[in-house]
Amino acid sequence: MAIPTGDGEPRLTHLDEAGRAVMVDVSDKPDTRRDATARGRVSMQPATLELILAGRMPKGDVLATARIAGIMAAKRTSELIPLCHPLSLSSVAVDLVASEDGAAIEIVARARTTGPTGVEMEALTAACVAALTLYDMCKAVDRGMRIEAMRVVQKSGGRTDIRDQIDPRQEGTCP
């Protein structure tokens, strides 16, 4: 993230004065409730989606496995992303639903904590690993699948909030 400096030039928060990567010191920041939502999709052939929804993929229940993989990944984000703070997550939810066009699985991942730093990376990690798991479980049937449009669509509780357009059917909060 770029933050403004006294001279008006933005600087990256994960670089020190010498340009070396550092973990941001959050020890003086107050604990607040932090929420983030990430979205993405895995596009595929309609026949592949039909197999997933019918539970007929050779590797098993694709949606349940991808959901659990996403949740597990969120809990390990700091081990995967350098300089990411380890967080005590209050909640992680991953939803995977068939797209209306019948050619994709839409992924929505939500993360929540109370602490001095946000959970955007945890939500993104959950969505990305859910997508990778889905891809892995279906690649024997459809090599043309595409992981697309991974992004943070909502974050709150910190210095800046993000609010993207979210389909009301997919909006919600972590349980």
Q: Rounded distance, CA 10 to CA 15, Å?
A: 12
Answer yes or no: is 83 a known binding residue.
yes
Q: Are strands 104-115 and 32-43 parallel, antiparallel or unpaired?
A: antiparallel
Distance of CA 108 to the CA centre of its chain: 8
Answer yes or no: is 89 a known binding residue.
no
DSSP structure class, residue 57: -
The answer to whether 16 is a known catalytic residue is: no
Tokens of 173: 């909060």
Q: Rounded distance, CA 168 to CA 57, Å?
A: 30
Helix axes 46-53, 120-138, angle to 10 degrees: 100
Active-site residue, from 28, 136, 161, 164: 136
Contact in structure between 41 and 106 (CB atoms under 8 Å): yes
Answer yes or no: is 121 a known binding residue.
yes
Answer yes or no: is 106 a known binding residue.
no
> Which residues are catalytic, by number?
136
